[in-house]
Structure 1
Amino acid sequence: MIDATVVGAGPNGLVAAVTLAHAGLRVRLVERGERVGGGMSSAELTLPGYLHDVCSAVHPGALASSFFRSWGLTERVPFRIPEVSYAHPLDGRPAALAYRDLDRTVAELEEDGPAWNRMMRPLVDRFAGVQDFTGNQLLRVPRDPIAAVRYGLRSLVHGPAPALAGFRGQAGPALFAGAAAHTVAPLHSLASGGAGLMLAAFGHTVGWGLPVGGSQAIADALAADLVAHGGEIVLGQHVGSPADLEPSAATLLDTSPAHLARFGEDLLPGGYRRALERWPRGDGVAKVDFATSGPIPWSDPRVATAPTVHLGGTRAEIAAGERDVARGRVPERPYVLLVQPSFEDPSRAPAGHHTVWAYIHVPAGSEVDATELVTQQIERFAPGFRDLVVASASRSAAELEEENPNDPGGEIMGGRMSIWRLVRRPVLSTVPWRTPAPGLFLASASTPPGPSTHGMNGWFAARTALRDVFDIHDAPFA
Structure 2
Amino acid sequence: MASKQSYDAVIVGSGPNGLAAAITLATAGRRVLVIEGSETIGGGTRSAALTLPGFVHDVCSAIHPLGVASPFFRDLPLAKHGLAWVFPPAAIAHPLDDGSAVLVERSVETTAAQLGPDAGAYRRLMGPLAADWRNVLAEMLGPLRFPRHPISLVRFGLPALLPAASLARLLFRGERARALFAGMAAHPIMPLEWPATAAFGLMLGTLAHAVGWPLARGGSQRIADSLAAHLRSLGGEIVTGQWVARMDDLPPAAATLFDVTPRQLESIAGDRLPASYRRKLRGYRYGPGVFKVDYALDGPAPWQAAECLRAGTVHLGGTLDEIAASERAIWRGEHAAHPYVLFVQQTPFDPTRAPAGKHTAWAYCHVPHGSTVDMTGAIEAQIERFAPGFRDRILARSTRNAAEMAAYNPNYIGGDINGGVQDLRQLFTRPVASLNPYTTPASGIYLCSSSTPPGGGVHGMCGYFAAQAALRTR
Could you tell me whether the CA contact under 8 Å between 2:161 and 2:197 is conserved in 1?
no
How far the C-alpha of 1:28 sits from its partner, in A, is: 0.7
User: Which segments of 5 or more consecutive residues in structure 1 lack a partner in the other structure?
Assistant: 470-478
- Match for residue 328 of structure 1 among 333, 342, 356: 333
Alignment of 1:267-416 (within 5 A): 267-416=272-421
2:444 aligns with 439
Q: How does the TM-score come out when normalised to structure 1?
A: 0.96
2:139 aligns with 133
Classify 1:179/1:72 alpha carbon distance in 2 versus 1 (closer, same or farther; 3 Å). Answer: farther
Q: Match of 1:3, SS?
A: strand
1:114 aligns with 120
Could you tell me whether the CA contact under 8 Å between 1:174 and 1:314 is conserved in 2?
yes
2:219 aligns with 214
- Match for residue 83 of structure 1 among 78, 89, 92: 89
Residues 323-370 of structure 1: CA deviation (Å, up to 9, x unaligned): 111100010110001100111100011111100001000000000122
Residues 432-459 of structure 1: CA deviation (Å, up to 9, x unaligned): 1011111110000000011100000001
Could you tell me whether the CA contact under 8 Å between 2:440 and 2:446 is conserved in 1?
yes
Classify 1:364/1:115 alpha carbon distance in 2 versus 1 (closer, same or farther; 3 Å). Answer: same
How far the C-alpha of 1:190 sits from its partner, in A, is: 2.8
Could you tell me whether the CA contact under 8 Å between 1:157 and 1:165 is conserved in 2?
no
**Identity of paired residues, percent?**
51
Return the alpha-carbon distance in structure 2 between the equivalents of residues 89 and 391 of structure 1.
25
Return the alpha-carbon distance in structure 1 between the equivalents of residues 451 and 54 of structure 2.
35
Could you tell me whether the CA contact under 8 Å between 1:157 and 1:164 is conserved in 2?
no
2:241 aligns with 236
How far the C-alpha of 1:388 sits from its partner, in A, is: 0.4
**Residue 176 of structure 1 pairs with residue 181 of structure 2:** yes
- Calculate the aligned-residue CA RMSD, in Å: 1.2
Residues 237-262 of structure 1: CA deviation (Å, up to 9, x unaligned): 11011100111100000001111111
2:18 aligns with 13
1:474 aligns with none
How far the C-alpha of 1:94 sits from its partner, in A, is: 1.3
Q: Match of 2:112, SS?
A: helix
Could you tell me whether the CA contact under 8 Å between 1:261 and 1:276 is conserved in 2?
yes
Q: How does the TM-score come out when normalised to structure 2?
A: 0.97
1:59 aligns with 64
Could you tell me whether the CA contact under 8 Å between 2:66 and 2:457 is conserved in 1?
yes
Could you tell me whether the CA contact under 8 Å between 2:168 and 2:181 is conserved in 1?
no
1:38 aligns with 43
1:452 aligns with 457
How far the C-alpha of 1:162 sits from its partner, in A, is: 2.7
1:473 aligns with none
1:466 aligns with 471
How far the C-alpha of 1:164 sits from its partner, in A, is: 5.1
Residues 184-232 of structure 1: CA deviation (Å, up to 9, x unaligned): 0101223421111100000010110111011100100111111122111
How far the C-alpha of 1:148 sits from its partner, in A, is: 0.7
Residues 139-158 of structure 1: CA deviation (Å, up to 9, x unaligned): 21111111111111111345
Return the alpha-carbon distance in structure 1 between the equivalents of residues 240 and 79 of structure 2.
27
**Residue 428 of structure 1 pairs with residue 433 of structure 2:** yes
Return the alpha-carbon distance in structure 1 between the equivalents of residues 189 and 79 of structure 2.
29
Could you tell me whether the CA contact under 8 Å between 2:246 and 2:268 is conserved in 1?
yes
- Aligned residues, how many? 468
Amino acid at match of 1:251: T
Moved more, 355-364 or 229-238: 229-238
Could you tell me whether the CA contact under 8 Å between 1:191 and 1:417 is conserved in 2?
no
Could you tell me whether the CA contact under 8 Å between 2:169 and 2:178 is conserved in 1?
no
Classify 1:387/1:109 alpha carbon distance in 2 versus 1 (closer, same or farther; 3 Å). Answer: same
Q: Match of 1:341, SS?
A: coil
How far the C-alpha of 1:159 sits from its partner, in A, is: 2.3
Classify 1:88/1:26 alpha carbon distance in 2 versus 1 (closer, same or farther; 3 Å). Answer: same
Residues 100-137 of structure 1: CA deviation (Å, up to 9, x unaligned): 11110011222221121122122112212210111111
Amino acid at match of 1:30: I
